[in-house]
Structure 1
């Protein structure tokens, strides 16, 4: 289940490989929440894989129902200095990387 994988990766601060809209992306998952349109979404820092803008690395918001698969990689990440645990695009945070971990 994608949500379970995301939660584990967030707790362990591990990069993940996701298949999103049929494209592979490598991301650092930071939080999962409910966005302003009531969709469950992942806030992540994308470091590799497909990008329609071609601009990587970059912060991205991925809708959970469009993630076809997620696999935890054996790659730890350090918390990005630009990470905002109180993401303004989310009306509710379900789980997130805590800065004091």
Structure 2
């Protein structure tokens, strides 16, 4: 689910970047026991296809995202994992 609405940025090279945050909650089985899984993660979609996403990726929207993880640095230098979206499917 989208928890931070999408914002569109354009790099000095003219490349479009759409950034937003998602949350995942589920119950997983580990060692035959149920475990609650919870994650919030920043997502970035890059390229021309990302321009229209800011209208669709609003808070509360359910999405399915495919892509890859990459390391970024926060403003204070701490490493963070970011999901680079290659395909986004709107669920609701």
Is the structural similarity TM-score above 0.5? no
For Structure 1 versus Structure 2, the TM-score category normalised by the shorter chain is under 0.3
Normalised TM-score (structure 1): 0.25
Give the structure with the larger helix fraction.
1
- Structure showing greater radius of gyration is 2
> So what's the TM-score if we normalise by structure 2?
0.26
Relative contact order (C-alpha < 8 Å, sep 6+): which is higher? 1
